[in-house]
Amino acid sequence: MIQKAKGTYDVYGQYGKRLLYIEDLIEGLMEKYNYEYFRTPIFESSNLFHRGVGEATDIVTKETYDFKDRGNRDLTLRPEGTAGIVRSYIENKMYGNHSIPVKAWYYGPMYRYERPQSGRFREFYQFGVEVFGSNDPMVDVEVISIPVNLYKLLGLKEIKVNINTLGDSESRSNYREALVEYFRPYLNDLCEDCKDRFNKNPLRILDCKVDANLEIMKHAPKTIDYLNETSKKHFENVKKYLSALNIDYVVNTNLVRGLDYYTHTVFEVEAKVKGFGSQNVLCGGGRYDNLVETLDGPKTSGVGFALGMERLIAALDYEKIELPIVNNIDLYIIPVSENEKDYSFNMCMDLRLNGFIVEIDYNNRNLKNNFKNADRLNSKFVMIIGEEEVKTGIITIKNNITKEENKIKKEDLINFLDENIGE
């Protein structure tokens, strides 16, 4: 038997319905925020991710799915969404012919070759947003408010934002030098990955899961102590706007995020999820004012976030949050014999096109089994079509809950269902 690849999963049944509900909720929310939907290719030039995500990140060095196509081109399955959106922004010259800022949202599969575990897969789905062309701290907070409001709409409780700042390029450079000087005497105490990060990107040492509990980590320099005046002002305004929106936040000076391209604001959003353990983070993001330029575009400010759908659904499961999903149909049609099938099928399609959820017997079940099937589908109404119904155009429709029957003309069926379907 052929089985799915390791680190992937099938979507069907109730999980599929819940996923579609959340996707619809996201689409509606993005419409209210006036963000434009983007979809980029699942695979791109490997160089896009090596330059955009960063050569020194674990994503690029350990986790990307890299391959050559028949034209000997180096391609990579996208491990995250931002780099592809930035590439699209540059390639389509949106900096020149679109209103600024450009506000984008995306949703789709990402791929990382990592060890599968609870809530972590090699193929996983992300929802994210990116905003280009404004360095206003208000945009940072608008971006932060999107996952906060999404989680609230889904019923998650005690939403909190952890924020920090890396400052602008000058501030980040000063901080980098401070980290190098601090960690140099402790190099032998660090894991092999962090020894490599020391030269390439020392900020990533602070993001290490292996060395996280070392005593030296607790006393490492803080980004907030190396900010210039411009960076301090930006961060103060971010906090001011968060307070204006009544968004709970905590300044977490240990928060640096794992990707190389962040500047200024970095953040994670968490919820109180019973059973999730100490790690309740559901999404993360931040500002990246140098990334567009790094990928050969013009100097452009940017800010965004991404959240994993698998982790979000797991949080809803742990919290036992029931989504308002439709698990019933409006009408179940039973043709008595082969002779009534074409008449019944035509009626079924007509009702579907008029907005009703309709099912019909395809398997020539007997009457008893058809009623059982109607119950299994939670059908509100049942309709039997026999020779007499076809001949006279008078339909007997049965309320499958109250068991009340009504005889109506075929042409009155739509109005009848409109009036009674909400009962």
Q: Which domains, and CATH codes, for the chain?
A: 13-168+243-318 (3.30.930.10), 170-227 (no CATH), 329-420 (3.40.50.800)
* CA distances to 94, 166, 263, 279, 415 from 222, in Å: 36, 9, 15, 22, 67
pLDDT value of position 322: 93
User: Which amino acid makes up residue 375?
Assistant: D
**H runs (alpha helix) in 165-252:** 169-183, 192-200, 215-218, 229-244
Based on its alpha-carbon atoms, the radius of gyration of the chain, rounded to whole angstroms, reads: 28
Report whether pLDDT(45) > 80.
yes
263-282 mean pLDDT: 86
How does pLDDT run across 140-175, given as a tens digit for each residue?
999 999 999 999 999 999 999 999 999 998 888 888
Cβ 103 vs Cβ 139: under 8 Å: no
Q: What is the mean pLDDT of the chain?
A: 91
Cβ 382 vs Cβ 368: under 8 Å: no
415-423 mean pLDDT: 85
Q: What is the residue-wise DSSP string for 11-32? A: --HHHHHHHHHHHHHHHHHHHH
Report whether pLDDT(17) > 90.
yes
Of 272, 204, 263, 220, which Cα lies nearest the Cα of 238? 263
30 is written with which tokens? Answer: 């993005």
Q: Which percentage of the chain shows pLDDT scores above 90?
A: 73
pLDDT value of position 259: 65
- Report d(CA 77, CA 59) in Å as an integer: 12
Report whether pLDDT(258) > 80.
no
pLDDT value of position 188: 81
How does pLDDT run across 108-146, given as a tens digit for each residue?
999 999 888 877 899 999 999 999 999 999 999 999 999
pLDDT value of position 61: 66
pLDDT value of position 277: 67
pLDDT value of position 58: 63
- Report d(CA 129, CA 102) in Å as an integer: 11
How does pLDDT run across 352-392, given as a tens digit for each residue?
999 999 999 999 999 999 999 999 999 999 999 999 999 99
13-23 mean pLDDT: 96
- Decide which of 200 and 268 is more confident: 268
Of 89, 108, 127, which Cα lies nearest the Cα of 294? 89
* Res. 261 pLDDT band, cuts 50 70 90: confident
Give Dmax over CA atoms of the chain in angstroms: 94
255 is written with which tokens? Answer: 């928060």
Quote the DSSP letter at residue 271: -
Quote the DSSP letter at residue 197: H
- Report d(CA 339, CA 385) in Å as an integer: 10
* CA distances to 110, 139, 160, 256, 285 from 144, in Å: 22, 9, 11, 16, 8
Sheet holding 36-37, edge to edge: 36-37, 102-111, 123-132, 302-308, 281-287, 263-270, 160-165, 249-251
- Report d(CA 178, CA 260) in Å as an integer: 17
User: Which amino acid makes up residue 351?
Assistant: L
* Res. 57 pLDDT band, cuts 50 70 90: low
pLDDT value of position 98: 67
* Res. 218 pLDDT band, cuts 50 70 90: confident
How does pLDDT run across 175-209, given as a tens digit for each residue?
888 888 888 888 888 888 888 887 777 877 877 77
Helix, strand, coil % in the chain, rounded to nearest 5 = 45, 20, 35
How does pLDDT run across 350-362, given as a tens digit for each residue?
999 999 999 999 9
- Report d(CA 69, CA 320) in Å as an integer: 45
How does pLDDT run across 315-328, given as a tens digit for each residue?
999 999 999 998 99
pLDDT value of position 55: 63
